[in-house]
Amino acid sequence: MTPSANRMGSYGESTVLSKEHFKAQELLKKASMAAAVFHQFNQQQVDRIVERTCHAGFQHRVRLAKMAQEETGLGIWQDKAMKNVFATQFVHESIRNEITVGVVAHDEAHGITEIAEPMGPLFIKVPLSSPTATVLFMILVALKSRNPLLISPSSRTLQCCAETARVCYQAALEAGAPEDCIQWLDESSREMDHAIMAHPDLALIVAMGRPELIQAALRSGTPAIASMPGHVPVLIDSSADIPFAVQNIVASKTFDNGTLFASEQAVVVEEKNAAAIVREFEKCNAYFLKPPEIKQLEATLFEPDGGPVLKPACIGQPVETLAKMAGITVPAGTRLLIARQEKIGDEYPLSGAKLAPVLAFYVRPNFEGASNLCIELNSHGDACHVAAIYANNELVIQTFSDLMKVGYVMVNMPASLGAIGGIFNRLKTSLLMSCGASGKAITSDNITARHLLNLKRVYRRRDNERWKNFPKDNFLDEHRTLNTVLEEYNRNY
- Residue ranges binding another protein (CB under 8 A): 28-29, 32-37, 39-40, 120, 178-180, 201
Looking at beta carbons only, is 26 or 107 nearer to another protein?
A: 26
What's the min distance (Å) between Cβ of 120 and another protein? 7
Nearest to 251 by CA among 434, 118, 128, 424: 424
What's the min distance (Å) between Cβ of 204 and another protein? 15
End-to-end CA distance of the chain: 70
What's the min distance (Å) between Cβ of 198 and another protein? 16
C-beta separation of 270 from 235 below 8 A = no
DSSP conformational letter for 9: G
Nearest-angstrom CA–CA distance, 222 and 1:
27
What's the min distance (Å) between Cβ of 178 and another protein? 6
DSSP conformational letter for 312: G
Looking at beta carbons only, is 51 or 201 nearer to another protein?
A: 201
Residues 6 or more apart from 36 whose CB is under 8 A from it? none
Q: Concatenate the DSSP letters of all residues of 240-307 into one string.
A: S-HHHHHHHHHHHHHGGGG-STT---EEEEEHHHHHHHHHHHHHTTEEEPPHHHHHHHHHHHB-TTS-
Looking at beta carbons only, is 18 or 32 nearer to another protein?
A: 32
What's the min distance (Å) between Cβ of 42 and another protein? 12
Nearest to 237 by CA among 407, 388, 351: 388
Looking at beta carbons only, is 176 or 223 nearer to another protein?
A: 176
**Burial category of 102 from C-beta neighbours within 10 Å (exposed 0-12, middle 13-18, buried 19 and up):** exposed
Looking at beta carbons only, is 34 or 344 nearer to another protein?
A: 34
What's the min distance (Å) between Cβ of 37 and another protein? 5
Looking at beta carbons only, is 275 or 455 nearer to another protein?
A: 455
SS3 94: helix
Looking at beta carbons only, is 34 or 359 nearer to another protein?
A: 34
Composition of the chain by helix, strand, coil, percent to 5: 45, 15, 40
What's the min distance (Å) between Cβ of 180 and another protein? 7
441: left (phi over 0), alpha (psi -120 to 50) or beta: beta
